[in-house]
Structure 1
């Protein structure tokens, strides 16, 4: 089995990053559950799992051409239990096997052990021999072991050599002819955030690279719907894929909104407006929640109208990035409505958030860290104190349920994926979000425990388990940079019912820096959560103060002066 599968895998698999609603009227598919694996053990059958996504083109093709094929069904009939898992519905299973793309096909033995893992589309011609050989010789294929975890470390940053290696790989990935990082053009929020920060710091080369990427990415904004596709498969930006998951909308609208403020290009504002229109017209549910995704490629499945806490939180963050840059209050109000929906429909009695209305696993880190991030963004964008308190409570739930004490990292799920998959996994992107969010929450609250959690998480991100697994790591650079440098801190001191205060706060929000602590102190509400600055009364009415932990700028009273005030503070901080 090892030899035959290794040959097939190395020579014949077709990669497919790109499924559709599943018709299971004939009962062909079973669900992922302990009961299914108990049945497999009892009947001495293999479990073959197809991990798919709603918008995934090649999942749809494989359902039609492979799983419905009579020869494939004959090979499965007596010895296999086919299991379908929608990757959006089960973040734990999705993140365990995400390296194999969608569709991923995983074959388990009757004892629940993995035998073979297949990446992408397989035609009947290639899948049937693998199924038959599995029955003949169920010896597991030997895959390269992932880098081992490092014990919890006091290291909270990269070495200069590690940093240089990551920067060199990012530079190597740059497409000098067509722009964009890599040959396939992905909507990657981490890359945009990293490049925008470099541009804002005066890095002219990365400023030009970011602008070229934003210009090329305009081709990925769908002419019909306004949504931004997650990938363009052509090196010259000519083959946009019509797959519109929520994370791509968040990344795209944030990049264009902040890019518009930084570069003043009206095309970027128009792009942000179009993605905002897509969110409102296609993914916003009537009750305030947000749908998961939309697919218009193979099979044209349309809008996936399931509703998860994770995607609703991503929509909140997207709307607030747009609001901060543009001042469109409708976007802020939609974000608030979405948060109210999540609190009413996804918050759990004991704290934290569940994924769906009824979960078969979890709770999951992804839902809870995205909600913490969204609630903290609501505090930033509105000045409302309730959102900060809710962010703290959700962060406390994460700290109690998802931190792996041995490594300092954050695990995907608070419960095992299944009885036979008990080893927890840690997903890098969610760990980066956790480190960044806990670090910023520490700045807002003054709670050093959150800072300590962020530092321990950074220790995991600088371990071989992360650095030796992937070379393209702009997100790790961002997390490290934010941990090393305090956020730009701007506070508006003034009554919240005073239009002058509101104008100052709007100007503070529009400054294009994600790592920012923006606060609105109406003294009638009592002290701020972290009263680390003693703001004087200013006789001329509402005023804006830009502060570090050691000093504050002279207050300004005109919205147009805030950007220069923050630039001056940035130079003082050497950011």
Structure 2
């Protein structure tokens, strides 16, 4: 055996699978992330061991994938967390896999996989059920979906420590937002726990999760996606309560995103944990003299769309101009650099020098549509971009009644369609906003199909995807819509944005040919309820809520 001291990683691509086919070797796929401490630990403790590295290089085709840059690979081969070590046939089918493997564990797994490969070869590979091409469990969209998910809130809620579940605690910002309208005390207590245990009091921003039920054993990664959704969740809690304890963490996280992770064009993707666990016990001055945590400043389309949505939501409730300015700057970058690069309406995941990410990913399209719909409501602009991005997704990704996660093409199992529930929920929610803002019911029809595609299994959907209940509820009753025939930023427009319902849709600068200038209208089916002052508008909304 050669004395090789490092694994010779290949990039994800057809060339690696062709090499595996020609050499009759299985593929060792390592799913890693910049922010993942265990991934870096496995590199230094396992893959750096010379005999293991030599064994991997001799017997396998090793492929390293950054899960943030390749979400479709992540979703098809993830073994439950990161790092993931998956073993594949040259056709991309799954042989077996595990998460973190120390040196002894890796030696055992390598031996078992080689034995399996020698005995059965590619016949040992399998295709996960989600990629088998089976139809989704479609059924009618009824109020029972919302009722089930609301019941799940109470069933899974941790009365002692807050949050949902009895093991590790994740913030689950979208579940919090669903609970704000149905189990508000649970939502607020959970945000209290997130603020008290996962918020970085020195630099701002939220850590990824707590490893224990009582919110201890904090894992100190900070990811853009989680921080953006938490800004919006805390802002929405402030909308309902007016309590500064919810506004302040949102404000400080806005500062974190626009300072620590700001690249000049957008918000970077993540900040990993520091090498020493004591780093987050230091004050600001002490941290300044210590090596900073590893940071990925890649500007990802979906994460930045979430950030723009969150910043504009926060601005809508507070008039904070800093949030407004940076929200607009992010939208400008999305529109200039990442939307329409390939063709009209198509979103590219990232561009980093010569490294260009995939295009037409459902997650990115859903979030970009939502962000520009938010911009239309708050800034009075963005509708054209939202429509173009939505139209591209519907044309390219929507078939058989639901959305695929991306093009059904690529190496490994990327050519097998995956129809993720969470991605369909995000897109359906954005399309419902777009249907109102564009006055186009076809978007609502697509959203209805996408939600109905999973309704046959609604009773098996858990609290982690509680947003499914929220979007189903929006389809089962008329939305709360306020059309404002007044200037963007006027007192009447600002009052409409602050109506205490985070699922409402505000149509600013409504056409004066249809509405009287200087008037806001609460639209209830075919009925229009006018109000000419913020006070009248709030009274009209309160009366509507009592009916």
Alignment TM class, shorter chain as reference: 0.7 to 0.9
Following the alignment from structure 1 to structure 2, what is the Cα–Cα distance between the partners of residues 452 and 153? 18
| Residue 149 of structure 1, CA deviation | 6.7
CA contact (8 A) 1:100 1:117 kept: no
Per-residue Cα deviation, 1:325-382 (whole angstroms, up to 9, x for no partner): 2111221121111111111111224221111224454431122111111111100111
Structure 1 residues 31, 549: CA separation in 2 closer, same or farther (over 3 Å shift)? same
Moved more, 336-345 or 417-426: 417-426
> Which residue does the alignment assign to 2:258?
280
Per-residue Cα deviation, 1:132-156 (whole angstroms, up to 9, x for no partner): 1211222437797459777478744
> Which residue does the alignment assign to 1:135?
114
| TM-score, normalisation: structure 1 | 0.84
> Which residue does the alignment assign to 1:252?
230
Following the alignment from structure 1 to structure 2, what is the Cα–Cα distance between the partners of residues 177 and 152? 37
> Which residue does the alignment assign to 1:320?
312
Aligned 1:260-339 pairs, distance under 5 A = 260-287=238-265, 289-298=266-275, 301-339=293-331
1:83 aligns with 2:63: yes
| Residue 420 of structure 1, CA deviation | 5.1
Aligned 1:16-415 pairs, distance under 5 A = 28-98=8-78, 100-118=80-98, 120-138=99-117, 139=120, 140=124, 145-146=129-130, 151=135, 155-158=139-142, 160=144, 165-183=148-166, 184-198=168-182, 206-218=183-195, 219-287=197-265, 289-298=266-275, 301-347=293-339, 348-351=341-344, 352-357=346-351, 358-359=355-356, 361-384=358-381, 387-403=382-398, 405-406=399-400, 408-415=401-408
> Which residue does the alignment assign to 2:429?
436
Following the alignment from structure 1 to structure 2, what is the Cα–Cα distance between the partners of residues 439 and 150? 27
Structure 1 residues 365, 154: CA separation in 2 closer, same or farther (over 3 Å shift)? closer
Structure 1 residues 367, 65: CA separation in 2 closer, same or farther (over 3 Å shift)? same
Structure 1 residues 270, 166: CA separation in 2 closer, same or farther (over 3 Å shift)? closer
| Residue 421 of structure 1, CA deviation | 3.9
Following the alignment from structure 1 to structure 2, what is the Cα–Cα distance between the partners of residues 193 and 62? 36
Moved more, 149-158 or 392-401: 149-158
> Which residue does the alignment assign to 1:22?
none
Aligned 1:6-17 pairs, distance under 5 A = none
> Which residue does the alignment assign to 2:522?
546
| Residue 571 of structure 1, CA deviation | 3.3
Per-residue Cα deviation, 1:117-168 (whole angstroms, up to 9, x for no partner): 22x21111112111112112224377974597774787441573x6555444
**Structure 2, unaligned runs of 5 or more:** 277-291
Moved more, 422-431 or 97-106: 97-106
CA contact (8 A) 1:553 1:569 kept: no
Following the alignment from structure 1 to structure 2, what is the Cα–Cα distance between the partners of residues 99 and 419? 16
CA contact (8 A) 1:227 1:275 kept: yes
**What CA RMSD, in Å, does the superposition of the two structures yield over aligned residues?**
2.6
Following the alignment from structure 1 to structure 2, what is the Cα–Cα distance between the partners of residues 339 and 482? 26
CA contact (8 A) 1:52 1:85 kept: yes
| Residue 102 of structure 1, CA deviation | 1.1
Following the alignment from structure 1 to structure 2, what is the Cα–Cα distance between the partners of residues 295 and 122? 20
1:452 aligns with 2:429: no
| Residue 197 of structure 1, CA deviation | 1.6
| Residue 324 of structure 1, CA deviation | 1.6
| TM-score, normalisation: structure 2 | 0.88
1:481 aligns with 2:469: no
> Which residue does the alignment assign to 1:510?
498
**Structure 1, unaligned runs of 5 or more:** 1-24, 199-205, 528-533
Matched residue count: 517
Following the alignment from structure 1 to structure 2, what is the Cα–Cα distance between the partners of residues 360 and 264? 41
Per-residue Cα deviation, 1:288-338 (whole angstroms, up to 9, x for no partner): x22111112457643211112111111101111211221112211211111
